[in-house]
Structure 1
């Protein structure tokens, strides 16, 4: 008897209901039946996929909080992380996590396709394509989860470091056992390697993963494992499919910028995948999410990425005099991606690989290629530094400026903190403007357990197989 997945009302119910029927022989009125290869292929495309990072967004040196949202406020996970407070019970505070739940709900969607598409009607090549695309997205979601809820990959300890639960089949009631960091990375790489031979250079729409995206993700996985040769090769493969850099300098000085020529999602040619940290209108969260004075200073005065998009003068959203800033260009005028991969990150990964291999000239050539499209005036082409450390510092700072907001800086700090040469002790002095309370210095050490986010309490209670990856205590 034919088994069809039935989504009552719409496909999105799969991502919002924990108890939908898995299989049925009867199709209720108004249901959407997924039974052909094309149905499964279309199921891969999910235009409004979002990853809300409110549980860990302030564990970086790039983000800031308006003083009235911190001073005198009852402690919450944002204030705890912003002040780098290791003495408060975070586990009890993180009762739920939109980030965690959405990532696994998306994984269930990909697992549905991977598990059932072969039994559908239709072209075998389309089935292989749907399965391959779903595996790429499953790899992406596992990559996000492992880099939030576990230690950064360290070859010396990854085989024993606690990781996350690998979900490799559709099962809403599963209580999987936690895998190690090494096992999760092996799973991610296996999915990518199996998918790559079947992917397309130009998918049906930008919500289907392309070859450029898959190779970029593979490069990022290798880079995070410090497998530099493989990462560099993957960068080159990705750029062979898409090497475009959106020229912000020309856009600002010649075309008039977003007020004259809107660039909305998905019309930015350097974007390799459209997913969001907040939603389709994600850059508008900048009205309440500020960048720090440190990052503001790093941009300088002639960077199109700052001059075009950020505001430092609105007392409604920031403290005047703090030197913080907020993103203020509506998404209807310009969409700046903060979560999905884009070509500029691939270029910066390529530059990092070259620098790590000692090719400082090659690394700086890549960096300067990007800067030509970002720096409006002044020093555009940087000289080749004398040391690898100086070159790496330039690349790391370019990553901060190019990949602002989102979760990239959080993940970069974690991975770089495994290397003494690049580890950073984050120090912030706060408040800057308010004089009614004493200014304090807050410090986040490279080895801080805060970098490992506790699993949400509701999940810990449901799955006894899931244990914390830090020395924090369960409140039950």
Structure 2
């Protein structure tokens, strides 16, 4: 076979339907890639989407409008919102955009990793392309394992069912499911192999920077409770980018109605990824925050006061004390499923708290709050007497700062593996409607609902893929 790689890239998203597309004949309209620089450019993928609709209402930060629940046939949203463990989730999960898209991205990264060494060009570019693809491959596996498996527990991770690791380009592969520990080992191996070759300032913002890579490394260590390593990686990330966007000063300027902050102008952003796409923040009426989270913000938090709506009757039940993000992405870009510098600060604060360095943890929170809390609010938190109380302050700050996306769902799962920090969620519903009985719904820390079932499309295609809960497949 000639040394030619034929890759179809409609809309910049790699989709390959069969192995026959790697041939000696270039299909009409295809893009021939045989240069290392071209493989490197393929890492850039604007518009990467990670929908959260399979699990968003399991978070205590999210809420549903009452008319979308009462009298409706239960769908996955209602099942999750009412914490109903008695309904057959598996049959409802016929497909999953998140699952499909994540593995499509992994296929893209594997294509680059597998083929770049045989391309034309210098060795440094090949190493860079491979390193960037490995960081993103690790990131996608991280999102998948934290969605479809139990949160990492050092006591059980070696036996807990995980996901299928895809470490090579193979369209016919039916891999066996790995354990949670094996997936994390794979993720960390990719990270460590990539770090020596990544750049502080990559080709464009859709390529991973060293600041992002070390932030991600810190996150993986934190989820594994490898606190010293998480702390070191967080500090390394902040050595490349430690900027915090000053929302207090921004509020004094008039906020998003006066001063637009598009994506390129938000200095906190470490990675540009989305729940849906560039303009997702135009549609966050679908992402109503809970009364609990709204109360957590208080009256003088710029994160709430600048961006949320509490009065729109089309999107909210007035009187339920809920709210939704009401700021267009062109007026203020807010990262959801990617990473940003403030998450790194919060990870560092958690590391200090877990290491019983309570003052250091609170000092970091206060550094962030100085650029978040408006006049009249409490900027300076006092140092609690215990680690548990300090951790509660850190976790609450994470809830206020890391909105939407995966963060709260993943945090609940990982913290629920620790008795000291596990949370039983209670949800009283409805609040406004008086025509149906009000009920209290409860989600226990060990509920199987936290482990999202694999979609039926994946289960039917790969007999080796089995559920990570005791639920039954309909075949």
Q: Is the 8 A contact 1:10 1:32 kept in 2?
A: no
Residue 348, structure 1, aligned to residue 352, structure 2:
no
Q: Is the 8 A contact 2:149 2:163 kept in 1?
A: yes
- The one of 316, 326, 329 equivalent to 1:328 is 326
Residue 149, structure 1, aligned to residue 148, structure 2:
yes
**SS class of match (2:56):** coil
**SS class of match (1:58):** helix
**SS class of match (1:455):** coil
Could you say which residue in structure 2 is the equivalent of 1:272?
Answer: 270
Could you say which residue in structure 1 is the equivalent of 2:454?
Answer: 455
Q: Within 5 Å, which residues of 2 pair with 1:204-243?
A: 204-243=203-242
- The one of 370, 373, 376 equivalent to 2:371 is 373
Q: Within 5 Å, which residues of 2 pair with 1:55-70?
A: 55-70=54-69
Could you say which residue in structure 2 is the equivalent of 1:281?
Answer: 279
Residue 137, structure 1, aligned to residue 157, structure 2:
no
1:260 shift after superposition: 1.6
- The whole-number CA distance in structure 1 between the counterparts of 2:207 and 2:98 is 21
Q: Which runs of 5+ in 1 are unaligned?
A: none
Q: Is the 8 A contact 1:3 1:23 kept in 2?
A: no
Q: Across the two proteins, how many residue pairs are aligned to each other?
A: 474
- The whole-number CA distance in structure 2 between the counterparts of 1:22 and 1:410 is 39
The two structures have a TM-score, normalised by structure 2, of 0.98
- The whole-number CA distance in structure 2 between the counterparts of 1:401 and 1:13 is 33
RMSD: 1.1
Q: Within 5 Å, which residues of 2 pair with 1:123-202?
A: 123-202=122-201
Q: Which runs of 5+ in 2 are unaligned?
A: none
Could you say which residue in structure 2 is the equivalent of 1:423?
Answer: 422
4+ long deviations beyond 6 Å: none
Could you say which residue in structure 1 is the equivalent of 2:53?
Answer: 54
Q: Is the 8 A contact 2:13 2:45 kept in 1?
A: no
- The whole-number CA distance in structure 1 between the counterparts of 2:303 and 2:296 is 11
Could you say which residue in structure 1 is the equivalent of 2:391?
Answer: 392
Q: Is the 8 A contact 1:7 1:13 kept in 2?
A: no
Post-superposition Cα deviations, 1:14-58, rounded to whole Å, max 9, x if no partner, equal 24x544744122223322111101100000000110101111110
Post-superposition Cα deviations, 1:108-152, rounded to whole Å, max 9, x if no partner, equal 000000001011001110110000000000000000000000011
**SS class of match (2:23):** coil
Could you say which residue in structure 2 is the equivalent of 1:308?
Answer: 306
Could you say which residue in structure 1 is the equivalent of 2:443?
Answer: 444
- The whole-number CA distance in structure 1 between the counterparts of 2:171 and 2:97 is 16
Distance 1:74 1:350, change over 3 A: same
- The whole-number CA distance in structure 1 between the counterparts of 2:32 and 2:429 is 55
- The whole-number CA distance in structure 1 between the counterparts of 2:2 and 2:267 is 42
Q: Is the 8 A contact 1:111 1:134 kept in 2?
A: yes
**SS class of match (1:179):** strand
1:233 shift after superposition: 0.4
- The whole-number CA distance in structure 1 between the counterparts of 2:19 and 2:274 is 25
Q: Is the 8 A contact 1:6 1:21 kept in 2?
A: no
- The whole-number CA distance in structure 2 between the counterparts of 1:278 and 1:272 is 18
Residue 358, structure 1, aligned to residue 371, structure 2:
no
1:11 shift after superposition: 6.2
